[in-house]
Structure 1
Amino acid sequence: MRAIRVVTAALLGVGALAVTAPTAQAHGDNSGFWATVLPTTIAPGGQVRLRATGCEQSVTVSSGVFDTVTIPRGRTTATATVDRDAKPGAVYEVSFYCGTFWQTVDLTIAGGRPERPHLPQHGVRAGAGGSLAGLDLKEIGLGAVLVTAVLGTTYSLSGRRTDADQDGA
């Protein structure tokens, strides 16, 4: 009977870890696939070099600031011409697709400043910082409740038997 309790407790513990472990996004699952854009800041009408490594097939590269480009299988680079009407100071996302995996890189358009003349200049604006940036407090709370519940259940199921339980066995 004790073996069943131990196995049940172990399975609950493993299940809790599986449920509460952070999930990997599709674009982070392929650690061998890397993408870069050079230069990372470019003037409107300029050419950028697109580089993708670690993909065994053709890579499709798209962005709102240039036409879609394909890096053929067996090659690692291609070039793209930035639209001449790209807004100076804007940051565009460049997406590299390797089958079901993708990565994104930011491309900044040179020659401009954000249009905020009425706002006073301030120092650096710090965010939440570290690993807390972008986390949802509801998800953290729910995860803490789930972990606490599973640990409590595991403890109660794997606890030592009382004298009364041992006499009846």
Structure 2
Amino acid sequence: MRAIRAVSAALLAVSALALTTPTATAAPSGGNAPFGFTVTPSTVAAGGRVTLSVTNCATTATASSGVFDTVNIPSGRSATATVDWDAKAGATYQVTFTCNGQSGTTSLRISSATRNPTPAATVTRTTGATVVPGGVRGGLGGSVGGVSTTELVGGTALVVAAAAGTIYVVRRRTEDRQH
């Protein structure tokens, strides 16, 4: 249950961070390219993901940088890229967008905060249920394997001794009150 709460809190924090980070919107170099482009967020930790968008481009555009692999961006859509883990903290890298032979650049800054890699999901397959003979041993905690004859005789003797002691004390009090 704690894991679910922790993951929910982490996703909420990442979502809040993603919604509040500034978006880098750049005019193409040279100022006369007929398309627009954005990198969101404009500052990211090494190993983080950025969303790359292109507007007013009728064909598939590309985005490339020295800090991530070249990404194809379909017309009217966006794409994501994962920043390399070895990106230098505090450095600024150029991202080049290309559409119909024209290109434009913008900057992507690597934050000084490091990001921990998230482990890959593990898939476990089960083939069927395992049936264990016998019922559930509720209250025993699973540490008791069974009752031996010695334990049974000893427990019975203790119960008889307790009952006999109780009867003796009660009868003795009754006798004392009658005199």
Q: TM-score range by the shorter chain?
A: 0.3 to 0.5
TM-score (norm 1): 0.48
Between structure 1 and structure 2, the one with the greater Rg is 2
TM-score (norm 2): 0.45
